Homo-oligomer: A and B are copies of this chain.
Amino acid sequence: MFRFLTAGESHGPGLTVIVEGVPAGVSLTEEYIATQLARRQRGYGRGGRMKIESDFAEIRGGVRLGETLGSPIAMWIENKDFANWTEAMAIAPPEGQVDRKANTRVVPGHADFPGALKYMAHDMRNVLERSSARETAARVAAGAVARRFLEELSISLHSQVVSIGEVEADVSLDADWDAVEASEARAADPATGEKFIAAIDAAKDARTTIGGVFQVVAKGVPVGLGSHIQWDRKLDGRIAQAMMSVNAVKGVEIGRGFANTRRPGRDVHDVVVPDPSDPRRFARRSNEAGGIEGGMSNGEPIVAYVAIKPIATMTDPLPSVDINTGEVMEAPYHRSDICQVPPACVIGEAMMALVLAHAALEKFGGDHINETRRNLAGYIASHQEFGGGAAAPGGE
């Protein structure tokens, strides 16, 4: 059983993460996690806060002498900005009057309105502190743990920006991933990256915000993660939930799900053939299915496309209301980014990693990484029963 929880408010003391279920014996360091947190903090279009804070997750449980113990892994990401919020975000009850920095003006598109009514929050700060994108730092830390575990199973994760507004990239699953990492806009092609940046700049100049689409790719996933046998075991469903749960996400595809509705059946199914380089093995002519058939990984790269809406707070705010008085007024402008798509890629990778780690542990079990790997290896070897003695693809 793999599970994780996060806690903490955007301007509170910090973020707490518990990740449970990783086997013992996996090397894991704070530096490794910091590398992933830094990837989230890069990206063109990010606002001021990213410059204030360089996130660092301290490991506070579950790791000893550089290796996981099998026990729950606790992490703590201090909010350096809390120093400015010790009054408004104090844990303790106030002794006298405090400056609550109360939020009473609704930002349409945020959790403000439904959160106020659900939680009876007359100060919507009580809601938005938790619904803030700050929480995604905790997810990236959790995802880094999952990613480290997946590396032990030879599974790797990548992501790139597919579009910003109306500007589209020509993406490939065999992108130059180093180039992507080097790009502020997470584009493999520098010319495309420049167009992305121009689109973000244009939105800024227009005092609006801009969204886009990104792609997450998982390679080396063995065939057979997830299952067709019950609705909530399907791997695609679990990926869809994980992605849609990220702030600002409004759409998820496995493969190019929407575009493929326009093509004939003949063109969107991935023909199985003998592997040209080894006729005793199977291969695919295409990967329109995005690596998942019948709710299970099929040995091809898993490919998800994720739609990110434009950010809701703008320097030229939308009209709005005061939640308590009903008075019409402008929505507030919180210090904010213009475009979340490049950093959202990294969050998407984290969520993919968490789903795959969960699914891999369900299938392979194991309490020490050697046990999990031994079980995986035995499974892969069992594929030789198929295809006339050939090993079918998956995980190699």
In the complex, what residue of chain B is closest to A392 when comparing beta carbons? B117
By a CB distance below 8 angstroms, the chain B residues around A62 are 7, 9
Assuming the A-B contacts A320-B272, A371-B382, are A71 and B9 also in contact, with contact meaning beta carbons closer than 8 angstroms in the complex? Answer: yes
Copies in the complex: 4
What's the nearest-Cβ distance from chain B to residue A182, in Å?
A: 24
Bound-complex Cα distance A20 to B274 (A):
35
> What is the bound-complex CA distance between A362 and B121, given in angstroms?
19
Which residue in B66, B67, B258, B295 is a CB contact (below 8 Å) of A251?
Answer: B258
Which residue on chain B has the smallest CB distance to residue A211? B261
Residue numbers in B under 8 Å from A71 (CB-CB): 7, 9, 129-130, 229
Partner of A289, one of B109, B293, B385: B109
Chain B residue contacts of A1, Cβ below 8 A: 1, 233, 362
Q: Say which residue of B163, B251, B296, B308 sits within 8 Å of A114 (CB atoms).
A: B296
Once the chains are docked, how many angstroms separate the CA of A91 from the CA of B60? 8
Q: Is the CB of A327 within 8 A of B388?
A: yes
Q: Scan A249-272; emit 1 where CB is below 8 A from any B CB, else 0.
A: 111111101101111111011111
A251 contacts B257, CB within 8 Å?
A: yes
Cβ–Cβ < 8 Å partners of A230 in chain B: 5-6, 20, 72
* B contact residues around A6 at 8 Å (CB): 18, 72, 230-231
CB proximity of A116 to chain B, nearest CB, Å: 7
Which residues of B are found within 8 Å of A3, using beta-carbon distances?
5
Specify which chain B residues have a CB less than 8 angstroms from the CB of A115 in the assembled complex. 224, 228, 294, 296
Within 8 Å CB of A23, what residues of B?
A: 119
Is A335 close to B, CB under 8 A?
no
Chain B residue at minimal CB-CB distance from A370? B120
In angstroms, Cα B324 to Cα A74, docked, is: 29
Contact (Cβ within 8 A) B371 A378: yes
State whether the Cβ of A352 lies closer than 8 Å to any Cβ in chain B.
Answer: no
**A103, CB-defined interface residue at 8 Å:** no
- Digitize A319-333: 1 where CB-to-B-CB distance is under 8 Å, 0 elsewhere: 111011111100000
Please indicate the chain B residues that have their CB under 8 angstroms from the CB of A67 in the complex.
93
How far, in Å, is A162 (CB) from chain B's closest CB?
Answer: 9
A interface secondary structure, majority: mixed
- A63 located at the interface, meaning its Cβ lies under 8 Å from any Cβ of chain B in the complex: yes
Contact-residue size bin, chain A (C-beta under 8 Å from the other chain): 35 or more
Instruction: Give A203 to B261 CA distance when docked, in angstroms.
Output: 13
The docked-state distance in angstroms from the alpha carbon of A115 to that of B368 is: 11
Identify A237's interface contact among B112, B118, B244, B375, CB under 8 A.
Answer: B244
Q: Give Cα distance in the complex from A370 to B121, angstroms.
A: 12
- Is there a chain B Cβ closer than 8 Å to A223's Cβ? yes
Chain B positions within 8 Å of A227 at CB level:
70, 118, 367
Nearest-neighbour CB distance to chain B for A394, whole angstroms, equals: 7
Complex interface: chain B residues within 8 A of A319 (CB): 271, 273
- CB-contact partner of A131 in B111, B228, B246, B351, under 8 A: B228
Q: Would you list which residues of chain A between 81 and 129 have a CB under 8 Å from chain B?
A: 89-94, 98, 100, 106, 108-122, 125-127, 129
Q: Which of A25-33, A34-42, A169-177 contacts B (4 or more CB under 8 A)?
A: A25-33
Q: Which residues of B contact A269 (CB under 8 A)?
A: 108-109, 310, 312, 318
Task: Decide: B118 and A326 in contact? CB cutoff 8 A.
Answer: no
Contact of A30 among B91, B125, B375 (CB under 8 A): B91
24 A-B residue pairs with CB within 8 Å: A1-B362, A5-B20, A6-B18, A7-B71, A7-B73, A9-B71, A24-B119, A24-B120, A67-B93, A69-B127, A109-B268, A109-B270, A109-B289, A110-B294, A112-B293, A117-B224, A118-B227, A119-B367, A122-B386, A250-B255, A252-B252, A265-B311, A326-B390, A365-B366
